[in-house]
Copies of this chain bind each other. A is one copy, B any other.
Amino acid sequence: MMRLIGLDWGTSSLRAFLFDADGMVLEQRHRAWGIRQLPEGGFGAALNDVLAGWPTELPLIASGMVGSRQGWREVPYVDVPAHLDALVAGIRAVDTGEGRLLHIVPGVRDAHGPDVMRGEETQILGALADDDIGERTLVLPGTHSKWVTTRDGRVTRVATLMTGELFALLRHHSILGAGVSDAAGSDDDVDAFDAGVHAARDSAASGVLSRLFSARTLVLDGRLAPASVPSYLSGLMIGEEWRIAAAQGWLRTDVPPLLIGDAAQRARYHCAAASFGVHLVDAAQDAAACGLWRLATAAKLLETDASLVGVTH
Which residue numbers of A lie inside 8 Å of B, CB to CB?
A: 69, 113-116, 144, 159-162, 165-166, 169-170, 173-175, 204-210, 212-214, 217-218, 220-221, 240, 243-244, 247-248
Contacts and interface: CB of A to CB of B under 8 A. Distances in A.
A166 B114 contact: no
Given A213-B160, A214-B113, A247 B206 contact: yes
Nearest to A115: B217
A210 B244 contact: yes
21 contacts: A69-B220, A113-B213, A113-B214, A113-B217, A114-B217, A116-B217, A116-B220, A161-B209, A161-B210, A161-B213, A162-B212, A204-B247, A205-B205, A205-B247, A206-B247, A207-B207, A207-B209, A207-B240, A207-B243, A207-B244, A209-B244
A277 B174 CA distance: 32
Contact of A209 (B113, B175, B206, B240): B240
Nearest to A68: B220
A114 B214 CA distance: 7
A149 to B, nearest CB: 15
Chain B CB count within 10 A is highest, among A116, A174, A206, for: A206
A165 B170 CA distance: 10
Nearest to A162: B212
Nearest to A217: B114
Contacts of A169: 169-170, 173-174
Contacts of A208: 207, 209
Chain B CB count within 10 A is highest, among A69, A115, A209, A212, for: A209
Contact of A244 (B115, B162, B206, B240): B206
B162 A209 contact: yes
Contacts of A221: 114
Shortest beta-carbon contacts, A-B, top 9: A207-B207, A160-B213, A205-B205, A114-B217, A169-B169, A206-B247, A210-B244, A205-B247, A206-B244
Contacts of A160: 213, 217
A220 B118 CA distance: 13
A221 B240 CA distance: 27
Contacts of A218: 114
